[in-house]
Structure 1
Amino acid sequence: MSKYSSAELAQMVQEDRVHRAYYTDPDVFEAEMTKVFGKVWVYVGHDSLVPRKGDYYSTTLAGQPVVLTRGEEGALHVIHNRCGHRGAKVVNQERGNARILTCMYHGWGFRVNGELAGVPMRAEFPQEALQGPQAGMVPVPRVDTYRGFVFASLDPDVMPLMDFLGSAKEGIDELVDRSPMGAIEFSAGCHRYRFRGNWKLQMDNMADTYHPAACHISTVGPDGRQFQRRAGKEGGSAMFFTSNGESVVSQLGVRGFAQGHSSEQSLFDKVQSGGVFDEYRTLLVQAHGEERTTEILKNVRHSLTLFPTLDILIAQTSVRVVKPISVDLTEVEVWPVRLAGAPAAISDDLVRYVNITHSASSFIQSDDLEAFERCQEGMRSQGTDWILVARGLGTDVQEADGVLFGPRSSEVGQRAKHYAWRALMAA
């Protein structure tokens, strides 16, 4: 049990600042697993990871091991990765295919929907002990999907997924509609790495257009630019500084959504073209029409972040997942996506691009990880108990559906996450 009351936890988030314990206190972290991750929709995987009947993908939900599976009837399931007998973790591989999931300890078998399928020496057990879902791999209370993205919740009374996503789901549409077939595939592997810092530092960063001019100076500055920002012969470059040295990226606006989601304006203002991109564009026009295709290729959003731990990297055509391990240890996964129906050269280019920008040793992500670890270390200092998130406060513009837009790298997206966290903690 946390040493903090609900009211004390909620008070860690003020209008323009958060308490350093928000990032550093193990009791706060433990409370989050129940009051945040146990109450909202959390992304667990993409349906392309389990394309065939019997496929499984093991991951975590609120720090608990779970398995995403494709049942015999083709339906998706999310089940607790725990044997109903002695509690052993059943699935030890990340991905695979099986008709029966078998526990290595005593050989109990389970169907991919979690039901108990077989028990060695079954007659020696009282039969009532083997009845009901508790004897199997128990299903997670709620599972739903949107355009291939699978979400689950430990709360049987959680709001409908579409209400939780709200208008933020348009960011998912923007990514998926890059495919002429309206489908993406997680078939290009995964970058996975850890940093010594709190998970919310990564989430804050996803709503931060203020930091690139300083944190990423080695790659965004005119003397240090080491790669083109997008594939294609034309429209791939992005201006980070004006001719007089003013930062362009730090003027980009940010949106904050009611459920803690956020999105960043795109840095790009030109449509990609040239080479195979022209062939790709023709396919998109056939699928989506001229106007929508122009919108897709121009990038309305740089990225969309869904509270608590999913980031749709639209500019990088990839998906980033944040997995809290402890108060000061976080695992990050970055999944390059392939665009179903697009020329293979387009998807190949996109995968190479993510390798450059968001792998553990990339030009961009390595800067961020250094910043996160310095934040975690610096917040051990008692110089002040408060972390400022006041940039743009009072200048936010109210849009539809409770969305707030903050111009010039406002921290409104970070505040949206903090306020959503506060509401859950206060409950």
Structure 2
Amino acid sequence: MEKYSKEHLAGLVRSDRVHRDYYIDPQIFEIEKEKIFGKVWVYVGHESLVPKEGDYYSTTMAGQPVVLSRHTDGKVYVVQNRCGHRGAQVVAKERGNTRAFLCMYHGWGFRLNGELAGVPMKQDFPPRCLEEPGSGMLRVPRVESYRGFVFASFNEEVMPLLDFLGEARGGIDELVNRSPVGEVEFGSGCHRYYFRGNWKLQMDNMADTYHPAACHGSTVGPDGRQFQRRAGAEGGRAPFFAENGEAIVSQLGVRGYPNGHSSEQSLFDKEQKGGHWDEYRAQMVAAYGEARTAEILKNVRHSLTLFPTLDILIAQTSVRVVKPIAVDLTEVEIWPVKLKGAPEVISTDIVRFVNITHSASSFIQTDDMEAFERCQRGMQTGGEYILVARGIGSEVDEGNGVLFGARSSEVGQRAKHFAWRDLMGA
């Protein structure tokens, strides 16, 4: 069998393990750009990053530079950050507001929807060349959003976004519903850092309730706990270890969804109360009523992970974006989320909390980065397969393709691996 045939690629993922090439083979990483990131919905940014006409936010989709922009028609577009003349990257700033995008090389101008707007010495070009769509900044063909989260796909025939999200979209709802007006904003910037490892190591970890007791021992143990995970006098603490010493966090269940999504159960099933949280709660009751507010202010999910690269950190009220750069280099962004309409102090607390947990010098994220880099190095040695068998065969079918696994089952990781296998073997 040819090494990079679709049969070989699909065979890298078995029912209970994956081949180490899945993480360390540079050629497989290149194939992923086409078969994974070129075929499915990829998160690009949030609508609040471009609230006004002329606003733009430049980012990447699997290494390809793109721009999220709001045109004069009020619509949000995703265009390829490439001049139709010589291929130069047009937008150099991360965010801003402009009437038009201007290429610094030869001065070609483009509207915020990607259309060609102006060409110096236009009369010297054959008219047909300038009339071609490729002369502009090409649009990514499919763009849809869900509750402000913008996704795009290079695949014109990709399934509708709601079908891709399926039951997993409830995790987005859980986060956004915490706002008294049902909207969130990305207005506090982000933490950005890199680790020397494959992007799928980070995605695996976001469906892993097995690792905290060991990997984060310095912060989850009763003698080393250094912060409270949620605000308020009540509901912010949760026990990580039972009286017999067994890790409670490792007993939490995980769900695997169709299309590679996953979610983790939360330790924080008590409503937050006390301090300025009571003012916020009163606003929520006015908006949603007493019973619904009590439901919203508990955590059903610790996080929701959307394949291939988005994590909704519900317990942390933030969003993590994973950006593959090379087979062994990954960029990570952590965005604190502002609950629109809530007291400002709530958003300030969220930023402080993310600084503690997920900044480049945080208590939690640094543990994970160390683990990922050790995995990447360790897989260069002997041993072909990586075991992903925890909880296999004991999952509960909840319907609509959703599988629940108790006691830190690896069902969520398997869901991602199987989605990868189906796409790479197509």
- What TM-score, normalized by structure 1, do the two folds share? 0.99
1:278 partner SS: helix
Could you say which residue in structure 2 is the equivalent of 1:190?
A: 190
Q: Give 5+ residue unaligned stretches, structure 2.
A: none
| 1:154 corresponds to | 154
Aligned partner of residue 69 in structure 2, secondary structure = strand
Residue identity opposite 2:410 in structure 1: E
TM-fit CA distance, 1:276: 1.0
CA RMSD of aligned residues (A): 0.8
**Superposed displacement of residue 63, structure 1:** 1.6
What CA deviation, in whole Å up to 9, does each residue of 1:357-383 have, x standing for no partner?
11111000000000000000000001x
The answer as to whether partners of 2:90 and 2:104 remain within 8 angstroms in 1 is: yes
**Offset at residue 3 of structure 1 (A):** 5.3
Residue aligning to 2:77: 77
2:24–2:376 Cα contact (<8 Å) kept: yes
Alpha carbons 1:3, 1:27 under 8 Å: kept: no
Indicate yes or no: 2:380 matched with 1:386. no
Corresponding position: 1:63 with 2:60: no
* Kept after mapping to 1: 8 A contact 2:79/2:137: yes
User: d(CA) in 1 for partners of 2:254 and 2:247?
Assistant: 16
CA distance, structure 2, for counterparts of residue 305 and residue 296 of structure 1: 19
Per the alignment, residue 266 of structure 1 pairs with 266
Shift of 1:106: 0.2
Which residue does the alignment assign to 1:276? 276
Taking the TM superposition and a 5 Å limit, the aligned residue runs for 1:134-173 are: 134-173=134-173
Equivalences for residues 321-360 of structure 1 within 5 A: 321-360=321-360
Alignment of 1:7-406 (within 5 A): 7-382=7-382, 384-406=383-405
Q: Which residue is equivalent to 2:421?
A: 422
SS at match of 2:331: strand
Give the letter aligned to residue 304 of structure 2. L
Mapped partners of 1:211, 1:294: distance in 2:
30
User: In the aligned structure 1, how far is the partner of 2:231 from the partner of 2:224?
Assistant: 19
Q: How far apart are the structure 2 equivalents of 1:93 and 1:288?
A: 40
Residues 171-208 of structure 1: per-residue CA shift (max 9 Å, x gap):
00000011001111100110000000000000000000
Shift of 1:407: 0.2
CA distance in structure 2 between the aligned counterparts of 1:132 and 1:235, rounded to whole angstroms:
59
Shift of 1:290: 2.1
CA distance in 2, matches of 1:284, 1:18: 45
SS of 1:259's equivalent in the other structure is helix
Amino acid at match of 2:356: I
In structure 1, what residue type is equivalent to 2:256? Answer: G
What one-letter code is carried by the residue in structure 2 that aligns with 1:405?
A: F
C-alpha distance in structure 2 between counterparts of 1:65 and 1:151, whole Å: 15
User: Partner residue of 1:6?
Assistant: 6
Q: Separation in 1 of the partners of 2:289 and 2:133?
A: 48
Q: How many aligned residue pairs are there?
A: 425
| Runs of 4+ with >3 A deviation | none
Q: Distance in 2 between matches of 1:116 and 1:11?
A: 45
SS in 2 for 1:68: strand
CA distance in 2 between partners of 1:27 and 1:328 (Å):
12
- The Cα shift of 1:289 comes to 2.2
Query: Which sections of structure 1, spanning at least 5 residues, go unmatched?
Result: none
Q: Distance in 2 between matches of 1:286 and 1:307?
A: 35
- Given that 2:269 and 2:300 are in contact with CA atoms closer than 8 Å, whether structure 1 keeps it comes out as no
